[in-house]
Chains A and B, each alone.
Chain A
């Protein structure tokens, strides 16, 4: 299956609204079968990127392909292969859950909703307008899973949901897409998911991309990212040097701060070369070097804080 085009491929894709650059030119490749998490704070450009990919809005420059098809040519029929769920999606509120599913069924060549509503614990006869936020999201997800699309885009699906519903959604989603590995093609279902819930995303995403103020800071496999980022604490030899942050630290050391006994920082490239060797090159008087792995949440926070610090120093 290596000759298959990536599920999503963007080249120098950008979007401006007037003079405001919502998304700086970015390159992004989402491999088939990946669960690709798009993280970033509010206004980072996650929703804009998804809408560009789905041809809901038009790019200012650059190009993108979705399942091998140019994003600009995506029209109605393309959505038999692409599912989209968004926290703000306007639904036909007057329909019941079952009515909504029944209405959508004839639009798709494949429709398998046996036990889907039961599995998602959805009341089939209740109107969409009478559903809670979590239930609405489940109904939206059900309407996507039923036609087994090879690509699902989810824009903040967990926003505002309680942990139980969140877990339930993820469980159903993973269960269904695992079932799909034996269907259409053996690369399985690709998911691009934007989320604030980093802990949840970390538990199941295979890849992660970080958008910050419209710029893509990185996009890589989750395992590589976790390996790359480490929180490092350096203890300096007593009386060897004053306990303050040296001015010429490497650029891949973020949020460096002095401690009583030395220095603490986040290393963004810890796996490339021996960590101890790198630290000793910069801080020859280091007596001990301790490093810890970071969670996606701590990596995210470190990057945001670092960015804010850089902005402050520039201004």
Chain B
């Protein structure tokens, strides 16, 4: 504890510069209070007027509250040792709760929290130094207690410690969530996993045609869109924008162990539907079967994403992609759907990379375990929840005729690629490197 002993003590700021007079500080704080008070009065007027209140009133209230908060904060920073100015700040923040328009409800929460903090600050500052140290010590213990709960909150073998579960959920979560310090810091553990990409096949319905068998077939404009992708998504020198997209794809990475095997009926139906999976072969103008992946166990080929991914994440992503790819939702949007595929990029083991015979190239199409996550419309709804390939793996593997022992980048044409066949357009594997 002695290692950080302070250097020989220079004088304190207040020893060499007289601090501002309390009256001056209070007058600044009062100005902040006044600004927010006007916002609150405007709020009262809006309540009385009702729906007929002109919109600039809301804007004016926001400006007044923002300005008032900064002015009050400045007053506190001038003399943080004055309990009165903290108290005034607490009143100001409390008034800001009603000063902010009701539609800005999250800022009402923020100002309520600030009011509590300022009131607590007034109390702490008013205490004698010895008690101030005690209170600060308790706060330190509570804070790091929360950090400790966060670090022990991830489940191990299906559960987290009972005490952690209770304290984290009931006590600490609001605090840690508010200040965003609920990370468990379990980086690359228990083991590093592969990264995932998302491939979106954006399909806009353009009409219909009769194929040579006399069957009416819908026609589409199709476009592949993949995230993250270099160099398109590297928009800044340190590639932060690229890594943020990796986080977006990571949200869909998890899967329910056993693929909802406990859900007997759906699992059974999904297996039966899978047997009947077809794609439309443009060249042959007929439907053809999609086989199971020949090198993987059939059950391992069914991976249902986590519930949150199904419920909110994928629908939101689908809406975003359709909105973006139709220039902000133009007239094509209602005719557009998006097929979402998750590409889990397996890492190559050392022996696979270095072996002399048939080395595995790190970007070979077969290193991507590809799962179909559904086709969504512009409202974020699954077009067909009973799609035969929903949550099933797309078989991608080297053709039997593929050249072996060849080093260098793999040729995508040497692979059986049901991703391209299922989506109806060739997927550019080379663009992933």
Chain B associates with chain A: no
Instruction: Report B's interface with A, CB cutoff 8 A.
Output: none
Instruction: Report A's interface with B, CB cutoff 8 A.
Output: none
